[in-house]
Chains A and B, each alone.
Chain A
Amino acid sequence: MTAVLPDLAAGIRAALGAVVDPELDEPITDLGFVRSVAVDHSADPPTAEVHLRLPTSFCAPNFAWLMASDARDAVAAVPGVGAVVVELDDHHDSDLINRGLAAGLGYRGTFGHEAEESLDELRATFARKAHTAAMERAVTALLRTDPGADVAALVLGDLPAGERATEALLHRRAALGLPVDDGAPVLVDADGTRPTPEAAALFLRRARSVRISIDGNAHFCRGLLTTRYPGSEADQAPRPEDRPLLPLTVSKGSRP
């Protein structure tokens, strides 16, 4: 009998593409953090084993746990996959995390006295930072073409439609439940609060430091991974164009 086996490994990789490093706001597949995906078709249903790797042994264990447990959930949800093993390699907490994942202990069950409630607040903090950075990228891109733009008064409809920076901002606003209509103000906190017109410039300056911090960390983590795991650069996708690692080039004389 011939049947077209669904390419489970590809499906698993696609599912892992939805798992994001919260600090860097990028999929773990683009960062090269997925070391291997193996499917055992001799089992029924087929089983999957995924190995993850990080730039250092001392990457924060709470973020390591988030990515590993999100990866496990994502792979388990792929249709046709039976038992799932997700392991984090070469981390100072590898044993602890891998044991916790295998036994389904959850965050608190895994970390014991080091965990209090949940990692929801940690996730929320970085969803806010991701929005802040996307907002700064969109506004800075606009200011480069129109240095005289009134930043405090900007609404979403003023941003160039279809541009990656604009789309990325809309995406992150939606994730936070912020309005995405053309009339909605651009400069807002994660809870929708607008700065006063006098405070707008400093508000944007702070957002810039958030963006630089995230971009810089992304650059550093990507580089360290390739030092630690030679050849892993082949598994890394370029950072999306809506968030270049370096600022866009500004032609001289673009300012009044």
Chain B
Amino acid sequence: MYRKDGEDYFIVDAHIALWDARPENQRNVHGKQFIDCFYDYHRNLSPETEQWGYEEYLYQGGERLMRDVFVDGIVDHAIFQPARLAEFYHRGFGQTEEAFALARAHSDKLTYNHYWDPRDGENGLTALREAAERMRLKGVKLYTADWHGESRGWKLTDPMAYRYLELSQELGIRNIHIHKGPTIRPLDRDAFDVADVDHAATDFPDLTFVVEHCGLPRLEDFCWIATQEPNVHAGLAVAMPFIHTRPRYFAQIIGELTYWLGEDRILFSSDYALWTPKWLVEKFVDFQIPEDMSPEYAPLTTELKKKVLGLNAAKLYDLPVPPELRLPDADETATGPRQPGAADLAGAGAR
């Protein structure tokens, strides 16, 4: 829990990882390129005091993860969202057994989400059944840009993906986190397009689709889909650290999300170990829309911050929140811009 200015915040970090990108685990040059890309993100968007050396960035291990994520008791709960990347790393990028064991040892603090990939076919469906039972899965992380043999991407609308979504629903895996990536077949069209989420969300109304990094770099396509589909939520992984280097851009992202999605469907994430949660929580609680942007975006309320930082994710994962910290859902419409007054267009909105 985080306390500031007499307010208490229940904190859920909805996207963390326990990865291993050390050279001995790199299968090929892409393994190095991938972690180097992450490291550039880390260096580019972190405050100087929070920057790590390259060696320590490659692998953290469970003990260090517990220290980094739960330092000062700020974060109440964190959720693993692993990426497999089996074509880049011998033992995969996300360390399944290590993370699962850690989550079992600290079940009050950690939830382990697993992954599936429709290109694993029938065998993958069987494996998902077993994993769901053994790991008591409430969610999965899907990475549509993962490579798999000759294939370098898939869509949620692929027929086999629907089989996996059906099975997820049957097994009670309600939370489908999706990371849209840059490589997908065919290359003819925009690979970051989130249109497949639209179809899946319509066809599986009982599942919740959390689009990670709120669709960036296609924020606009994501917002348009999420405003129409009540079961599409925004994960703030990667978007959060803009709060430090590019606060005015962050203000516009959070302003757009509030306008289109409302305050009940945005989830805080550090994307650990890309970044660490402590400084992000502290900055977000202190954050406000810059005054000269106030004609365009309404100030962020304390209620919105409490919901984004933890209450929204706690609801999706049935995490126990102390009664005095809970908040009711906002009185927002089911579809369409949820907070039209929060992002007026000078005089245009009134016409």
Q: Report A's interface with B, CB cutoff 8 A.
A: 23, 55-62, 65, 90, 92, 107, 111, 113-119, 121-122, 125-126, 129, 140, 143-144, 147-152, 197, 200-202, 204-206, 208-210, 212-213, 215-217, 219-220, 223-224, 227-228, 245-247, 249-250, 252, 254-256
- Could you give 5 example pairs across A and B, Cβ below 8 Å? A58-B182, A113-B185, A151-B351, A209-B260, A247-B248
A143 to B347, Cβ gap below 8 A?
Answer: yes
Are B40 and A227 closer than 8 Å at their CB atoms? yes
Of the residues A210, A219, A228, A252, contact of B249 by C-beta under 8 Å: A219
Please state if B219 and A216 are interface contacts (CB–CB under 8 Å).
yes
For B224, the closest partner residue in chain A by CB is A206
Partner of A254, one of B295, B349, B351: B295
For residue B293, CB closer than 8 A to chain A, the reply is yes
B120 contacts partner chain A, Cβ-Cβ < 8 Å: no
Tell me how far the C-beta of A251 lies from the nearest C-beta in chain B, rounded to whole angstroms. Answer: 8
Determine if B187 and A92 form an interchain contact, defined as CB atoms under 8 angstroms apart. Answer: no
A117 to chain B, nearest CB (A): 6
Q: Determine which of B150, B218, B252, B345 lies in contact with A201 in the assembled complex, contact meaning CB atoms within 8 Å.
A: B345
In angstroms, Cα B189 to Cα A116, docked, is: 10
Closest B residue to A65 by beta carbon equals B187
B346 within 8 A of A: yes
Residues in A whose Cβ lies below 8 Å from that of B33: 57-58, 90, 92
Residues from chain B with Cβ under 8 Å of A122 in the complex: 188-190
* A246 CA to B34 CA, complexed, in Å: 30
Interchain nearest-CB distance for A200 vs B (Å): 7
Q: Which of B16-59 contact A (CB under 8 A)?
A: 30, 33-34, 36-37, 40-41, 43-44
Say if the beta carbon of B152 comes within 8 Å of chain A.
Answer: yes
Chain B positions 108-126 with a Cβ under 8 Å from a chain A Cβ:
none
Q: Is B6 an interface residue (CB 8 A)?
A: no
Interface size on B, residues (CB 8 A): 52
Considering the chains assembled together, what is the distance between the CA atoms of A252 and B293 in angstroms?
10
Tell me the minimal C-beta distance from B318 to chain A in angstroms: 32
Interface residues of B, Cβ cutoff 8 Å to A: 30, 33-34, 36-37, 40-41, 43-44, 150, 152, 181-183, 185-192, 216-220, 223-224, 242, 245-246, 248-249, 252-253, 256, 259-260, 291-293, 295-296, 337, 343, 345-349, 351
Q: Which of A62, A117, A140, A250 touches B191 (beta carbons < 8 Å)? A: A62
Cα–Cα, bound, A140→B256 (Å): 16
The answer for the CA separation of A178 and B72 in the assembled complex, in Å, is 58
A61-B183, A126-B190, A206-B224 given; 6 more Cβ-contact pairs under 8 Å = A90-B33, A92-B30, A125-B190, A212-B249, A224-B40, A255-B295
Contact A114 B152 (CB under 8 A): yes
- Interface pair A223/B192, CB less than 8 Å apart: no
A59 to B343, CA, bound (A): 32
Residues from chain B with a CB closer than 8 A to the CB of A57 are 30, 33-34, 36-37
Q: Is the CB of A250 within 8 A of B182?
A: no
A245 contacts B249, C-beta separation under 8 Å? yes
A256: chain B residues at CB < 8 Å are 347
Residues of B within 8 A of A249 (CB): 292
Q: Are A114 and B187 in contact (CB under 8 A)?
A: yes
Q: Determine the distance from Cα of A255 to Cα of B348 in the docked complex, in whole angstroms.
A: 12
Closest to B343 in A: A205
Asked if residues B219 and A213 are in contact (CB atoms below 8 Å), the reply is yes
When C-beta atoms are compared, the residue in chain A nearest to B42 turns out to be: A227
Cβ B40 vs Cβ A60 within 8 A: no
Determine how close the nearest CB of chain A comes to the CB of B330; give it in whole angstroms.
19
A23–B349 alpha-carbon span in the complex (Å): 29
